[in-house]
Amino acid sequence: MVASQEPLVLPPNVSKSAFGDFISACREATGDNVTVISSASQIEDGDYMKPNYTHDPHHVLKQDFFLASAVIAPRNVADVQGIVRAANKHKVPLWPISIGRNSGYGGAAPRVSGSVVINMGKHMNKILEVNVEGAYCLVEPGVTFHDLHQYLVDNNLRDKLWLDVPDLGGGSILGNTLERGVGYTPYGDHFMMHSGMEIVLPSGELMRTGMGALPHPQQKEGARPEDQPWNETSQLFNYGFGPYVDGLFTQSNLGITTKMGMWLMPNPGGYQSYLITIPREEDLKQAVDIIRPLRLGMILQNVPTLRHILLDAAVMGHKSDYTSDISKPLDDAELDAIAEKLNLGRWNFYGALYGPEPIRNAMWGVVKQAFSSIPGAKFYFPEDRKEKDSVLHMRHKTMQGIPTFDELRWVSWLPNGSHLFFSPIAKVNGEDATAQFAVTKARCREAGLDFIGTFTIGMREMHHIVCIVFDRKNEVQKKKAHWLIKTLIDDCAKRGWGEYRTHLAVMDQIMDTYSFNDSIFRKFNEQIKNAVDPNGIIAPGKSGVWPKQYNRDEWKL
Ligand SMILES: Cc1cc2nc3c(=O)[nH]c(=O)nc-3n(C[C@H](O)[C@H](O)[C@H](O)COP(=O)(O)OP(=O)(O)OC[C@H]3O[C@@H](n4cnc5c(N)ncnc54)[C@H](O)[C@@H]3O)c2cc1C
Q: Which of 130, 95, 98 is closest to 109 using CA atoms?
A: 95
Determine contact, residues 97/175, Cβ cutoff 8 Å: yes
The CATH number covering residue 519 comes to 1.10.45.10
Residue owning the nearest CA to atom 53 of ligand 1: 103
215, part of any domain: yes
Q: How far is the CA of 107 from the centre of ligand 1 (A)?
A: 8
Examine the domain organization and report whether 87 and 236 are in the same domain. no
Q: Which of 83, 103, 147, 406, when mutated, tests ligand 1's pocket best, judged by the most ligand atoms within 8 Å of its CB?
A: 103
Q: How far is the CA of 145 from the centre of ligand 1 (A)?
A: 11
Residue that finishes a domain, picked among 504, 523, 539: 504
Average pLDDT of span 173-199: 98
Residue owning the nearest CA to atom 32 of ligand 1: 175
Q: Give 385-394 pLDDT, tens digit per residue.
A: 999 999 999 9
Q: How far is the CA of 370 from the centre of ligand 1 (A)?
A: 35
Q: Do strands 194-200 and 161-162 pair parallel, antiparallel, or not at all (unpaired)? A: unpaired
Average pLDDT of span 137-151: 98
Residue 230 pLDDT > 70: yes
Determine contact, residues 116/69, Cβ cutoff 8 Å: yes
CA distance 99 to 257: 13
Q: Which of 45, 172, 246, when mutated, tests ligand 1's pocket best, judged by the most ligand atoms within 8 Å of its CB?
A: 172
What one-letter code names the amino acid at 347? Answer: W
142, part of any domain: yes
Q: Which of 291, 300, 301, 433 is closest to 371 using CA atoms?
A: 291
Q: Provide residues with CB under 6 Å of ligand 1.
A: 96-104, 108, 120, 141, 166-168, 171-172, 174-176, 178-179, 181-182, 256-257, 407-408, 411, 539, 542
Q: How far is the CA of 150 from the centre of ligand 1 (A)?
A: 19
Q: Which of 145, 167, 192, 226, when mutated, tests ligand 1's pocket best, judged by the most ligand atoms within 8 Å of its CB?
A: 167
Examine the domain organization and report whether 108 and 250 are in the same domain. no
10, part of any domain: no
Q: Annotated catalytic sites, by residue?
A: 105, 500-501
Q: How far is the CA of 172 from the centre of ligand 1 (A)?
A: 7
Average pLDDT of span 27-36: 97
Examine the domain organization and report whether 461 and 354 are in the same domain. yes
Examine the domain organization and report whether 158 and 115 are in the same domain. no
ipTM of the complex: 0.99
9, part of any domain: no
Q: Give 305-341 pLDDT, tens digit per residue.
A: 999 999 999 999 999 999 999 999 999 999 999 999 9
Examine the domain organization and report whether 55 and 144 are in the same domain. no
Residue 2 pLDDT > 90: no
* DSSP three-state, residue 222: coil
Ligand 1 atom closest to 190 (CA): 11
Q: Give 400-452 pLDDT, tens digit per residue.
A: 999 999 999 999 999 999 999 999 999 999 999 999 999 999 999 999 999 99
Residue that finishes a domain, picked among 119, 152, 167: 119
Residue that finishes a domain, picked among 67, 91, 119: 119
Examine the domain organization and report whether 133 and 214 are in the same domain. yes
Sign of the dihedral defined by the CA atoms of residues 106, 48, 419, 180, in that order: negative
Q: Which of 52, 55, 119, 176, when mutated, tests ligand 1's pocket best, judged by the most ligand atoms within 8 Å of its CB?
A: 176
327 class by beta-carbon count within 10 Å (0-12 exposed, 13-18 middle, 19+ buried): exposed
Ligand 1 atom closest to 542 (CA): 47
- Read out DSSP for 125-172? --EEEEETTTTEEEE-TT-BHHHHHHHHHHTT-TTTEE----S-TTSB
Average pLDDT of span 238-245: 97
CA distance 533 to 541: 13
Q: Which of 242, 147, 243, 245 is closest to 196 using CA atoms?
A: 245
446, part of any domain: yes
What one-letter code names the amino acid at 341? Answer: K
Average pLDDT of span 292-301: 98
Q: How far is the CA of 373 from the centre of ligand 1 (A)?
A: 38
Give the start-end residues of each E strand in 311-452: 347-354, 378-380, 417-422, 425-427
Examine the domain organization and report whether 234 and 288 are in the same domain. no
CA distance 548 to 555: 12
What pLDDT was estimated at residue 359? 97
Ligand 1 atom closest to 538 (CA): 43
244, part of any domain: yes
Q: How far is the CA of 519 from the centre of ligand 1 (A)?
A: 27
32, part of any domain: yes
Ligand 1 atom closest to 184 (CA): 8
Examine the domain organization and report whether 111 and 132 are in the same domain. no
Nearest 5 degrees, angle CA 440-CA 412-CA 399? 75
The CATH number covering residue 72 comes to 3.30.43.10
Mean pLDDT of the chain: 97
Nearest 5 degrees, angle CA 458-CA 462-CA 467? 120
Expressed as residue numbers, the domain containing 524 is 514-555
The CATH number covering residue 471 comes to 3.40.462.10
Average pLDDT of span 194-200: 98
Residue 1 pLDDT > 50: no
Residues 6+ apart with CB under 8 A from 188: 164, 182, 302, 303, 456, 458
Ligand 1 atom closest to 255 (CA): 43
Examine the domain organization and report whether 497 and 519 are in the same domain. no
What pLDDT was estimated at residue 5? 78
Examine the domain organization and report whether 246 and 389 are in the same domain. no
The CATH number covering residue 247 comes to 3.30.465.10
In percent, the amount of the chain with pLDDT more than 70 equals 99
Q: Which of 121, 169, 128, 123 is closest to 146 using CA atoms?
A: 169
Count of domains for the chain? 4
Residue owning the nearest CA to atom 36 of ligand 1: 97
Containing 422, the helix (H) or strand (E) segment is: strand 417-422
| Phi and psi angles of residue 328, each rounded to the nearest 5 degrees, phi first | -125, 155
Examine the domain organization and report whether 108 and 149 are in the same domain. no
Determine contact, residues 448/484, Cβ cutoff 8 Å: no
Determine contact, residues 440/451, Cβ cutoff 8 Å: yes
Residue owning the nearest CA to atom 11 of ligand 1: 181
What pLDDT was estimated at residue 3? 42
Containing 352, the helix (H) or strand (E) segment is: strand 347-354
CA distance 15 to 7: 11
Average pLDDT of span 529-552: 98
Residue 283 pLDDT > 70: yes
Examine the domain organization and report whether 399 and 534 are in the same domain. no
2, part of any domain: no
